[in-house]
Structure 1
Amino acid sequence: MGQIRAILCGYYGKGNGGDEALLASLLQMLPESVTPLVLSGNPAETRKRYGVQSCDRTSPFQVLRAMRHSDSFIWGGGSLIQDVTSAASPLYYGGLMGLARQLGLKTIAWAQGIGPLKRDLTRRVAQQCFAGCTAVSVRDRGSAALLNEWNIPFIEAPDPVWALDSKPVKGLWDLPAPRVAVNLRSHPTLTPERLASLTQALVDFQKATQACILLVPFQTSQDLSIAESIQAQLTGPNHLFQLKDPRELKGLFRGVEMAIGMRYHSLIMAAAEECRCFALSYDPKVSQLMAQLDMPGWDLNQLPNDPNLISQTWLEHYANGDSLTGDQIQSLVDRALMHRDLLTQVLSTNRSAPI
């Protein structure tokens, strides 16, 4: 049997650290017999960073050509099928999935986080897409509940980024300890007033702990300006890390005492590296993660107005909070590898010939 050719489809090459971490995890978990081709918003960068074939995700000609020379199509993780960020998102991914099936490719919905789905049309599209897949895996209970409602078989396992290899970050250990990492992103729930309260709370927290604050944007377009505005108001040691390699993003948290994060994957990476975490939830997936891990935090809509109360809550968790134990982390990593096992099982046989 020759090499199996698989298209990897996700929100790749768009500068989002969480989605890049999913791609890195998927590439890490693919069987050696698979040759991947990644649909990317920046094919040149994807080829350079991961050493894989890549083509422009917005070019119908390139995508169709790739599909005609492939055997399998993998929806590669994350919140691809949701209509909150954009109603076009499920239509784009659903259209590609439908085309892949028409061309006879095996189709895998891999490590999906389904929803939120607010519109009847997108719910119907999602149901049809998942029902037609060769295999499905999801990363959370909410997604599992939807598939159960639709009578679609699946496996549920923790997000694959739990099992992503990490890499050391140059210069991290030269910064003074203790270190606290902060990740905030733009979102309607992070109003200017709430950002001002969080910033003042962070200033007070730093004065009380003498911690070095590490500002860690995951997506330049949505996180960087917020990180810079916070950095300008800090009075103690700090550093802004703009890391492109998701393995370094994860490795950063190995040298951190506590993380305060909005983004889902910032909290997973931090927790996986035995870092105490405090969540600021803007999305159901973050709230579900908080419940799953018994992670402290606030829904941003319920953030206290008093910066002093925020900083005191952070100080209490900094002094007395617990990180996950090594056994808890290993259990999550082991179960996350169920996504790898699914790939091995489904991709172990090839279709007879490309169309």
Structure 2
Amino acid sequence: MGNAGDEALLVSLLQMLPEHITPVVLSKDPHQTYDRYGVEAYDRWKLGEILKAYEGARYFIWGGGSLMQDTSSTISPLYYAGLMKLAQLMGLQTIAWAQGIGPLQKSYNRWMTRHVLKRCTAVSVRDVGSAGLLSRWRIPHILAPDPVWAMTPRQSPSFDRLTQGLPRPWVAVNLRQHVTLTEACLETLIQALQLFQEKTRASLIFLPFQHSLDWDLAQRLQSQFLGSPIVLIEDPQQVKGIFQQVDLTIAMRLHAVIMAAAEDCRCYALSYDPKVSQVMQALQLPGQELANFSCKAEILVQEWLELLQSVHWTAQSHRADLIQQAIAHREILCQVMG
């Protein structure tokens, strides 16, 4: 399984494409992509496969997420800029779609990003930081919320089976490995979850989004809370549907926060990344910045209790507008592709 957030962006893109467009996907696992989504797919790591995909194409969509950033990898921007530049050299109309640009610490990565974006037919971004950077570079663009806001959710039979008979309230917990989630921080979160469960008799549901970074952590948490299921689902629409059923979400990952808020589930954010912090600020979500985490377990429990018991919560007033505004990412596709 890949990253549920990345898969959700792909599904959102497929849903937003004009009906007359036949998509071809560059994928880490082309067979899985075809089986899951019914679209033609080519291996993104093989130059011959990439060229084959490009030769029959009219458009190239640099689709969704923070592709151009060098905090997690200095090589990643070289690869994605290379894909875009190759498409431009082969005469394809190029679209940078629903992007999050940066952070870009290396000067050559900033130069490459600006170079390929200036040559795009259209650009859309999903956060104000990226929009500000493009404005300084004088690159035309539109700013709209992450397209996953508008992705259609679906019910998950696997989730229904794994949670059958669990007492309410249901609390989804989404954590990932990251340098800001220190051992001390994790121990505080575990202590807080134990206290919270004692006070509320809540059922904890551990919801990893990516096997490689989330699964071991979910298993460690499960060992502390016997009877609490781990739910790992491959279909991102079903993942989003889960947030229609849980009562509270405690989440690190950006798309866990977005999916929860989009489905009107109370959400407490644990930010490890500027993108998560920006969503927290925009929606006035309660939460913690993990880089500066110094909170005691008792305070976390009190904040979770207040959120769970609140009649109205802050994201409700923004939800409908954000879902509607995310449709702008579809409009830019229609403008270019007809």
- Give the C-alpha shift of residue 129 in structure 1: 1.5
Code of the aligned partner of 2:218: A
Alignment of 1:1-355 (within 5 A): 15-170=2-157, 171-172=159-160, 174=164, 175-234=166-225, 237-320=227-310, 322-323=312-313, 328-348=318-338
Query: Relative to 1, partners in 2 of residues 1:118 and 1:310: Cα closer, same or farther, differing over 3 Å?
Result: same
- 1:280·1:297 contact (CA, 8 Å) conserved in 2? yes
Query: Relative to 1, partners in 2 of residues 1:324 and 1:88: Cα closer, same or farther, differing over 3 Å?
Result: same
- 1:276·1:321 contact (CA, 8 Å) conserved in 2? no
Cα separation, 2, equivalents of 1:321 and 1:111 = 33
SS in 2 for 1:48: helix
Query: Relative to 1, partners in 2 of residues 1:163 and 1:79: Cα closer, same or farther, differing over 3 Å?
Result: same
SS in 1 for 2:173: strand
Q: Deviations over 1:151-191 (max 9, x none)?
A: 00000000000000101122436233211111000001111
Q: Deviations over 1:128-155 (max 9, x none)?
A: 1111100000001000000000000000
Code of the aligned partner of 2:121: T
SS in 1 for 2:178: coil
- Give the C-alpha shift of residue 101 in structure 1: 0.4
Cα separation, 2, equivalents of 1:332 and 1:50 = 26
- Give the C-alpha shift of residue 283 in structure 1: 0.6
Cα separation, 2, equivalents of 1:268 and 1:74 = 23
Q: Report the TM-score, using the length of structure 1 for normalisation.
A: 0.91
The answer to which of 219-228 and 308-317 deviates more is 308-317
Q: Deviations over 1:282-309 (max 9, x none)?
A: 0100011111111111110222252222
Q: Deviations over 1:284-341 (max 9, x none)?
A: 0001111111111111022225222222222222223744566632211111000001
Cα separation, 2, equivalents of 1:154 and 1:273 = 28
SS in 2 for 1:58: coil
Q: Deviations over 1:211-270 (max 9, x none)?
A: 1111000000000111111111015x5221010000011000000111110000000000
Q: Report the TM-score, using the length of structure 2 for normalisation.
A: 0.96
Cα separation, 1, equivalents of 2:306 and 2:244 = 21
Cα separation, 2, equivalents of 1:27 and 1:84 = 28
Cα separation, 1, equivalents of 2:250 and 2:125 = 26
Task: Structure 2: state its 5+ residue gaps.
Answer: none
- 2:27·2:44 contact (CA, 8 Å) conserved in 1? yes
Cα separation, 1, equivalents of 2:3 and 2:315 = 28
- 1:181·1:215 contact (CA, 8 Å) conserved in 2? yes
Residue 353 of structure 1: aligned partner: none
Cα separation, 2, equivalents of 1:139 and 1:26 = 14
SS in 2 for 1:182: strand
Code of the aligned partner of 1:249: V
SS in 1 for 2:180: coil
- Give the C-alpha shift of residue 29 in structure 1: 0.3
Cα separation, 2, equivalents of 1:310 and 1:186 = 20
Cα separation, 1, equivalents of 2:116 and 2:201 = 51
Code of the aligned partner of 1:184: L
- 1:271·1:324 contact (CA, 8 Å) conserved in 2? no
- 2:283·2:318 contact (CA, 8 Å) conserved in 1? no
Code of the aligned partner of 1:180: V
- 2:307·2:313 contact (CA, 8 Å) conserved in 1? no
Cα separation, 2, equivalents of 1:238 and 1:284 = 30
Cα separation, 2, equivalents of 1:45 and 1:265 = 22
Task: Structure 1: state its 5+ residue gaps.
Answer: 1-13, 349-355
Query: Relative to 1, partners in 2 of residues 1:251 and 1:154: Cα closer, same or farther, differing over 3 Å?
Result: same
Code of the aligned partner of 2:304: W
* Percent identical residues: 49
The answer to which of 316-325 and 165-174 deviates more is 316-325
- 1:276·1:322 contact (CA, 8 Å) conserved in 2? no
SS in 2 for 1:238: coil
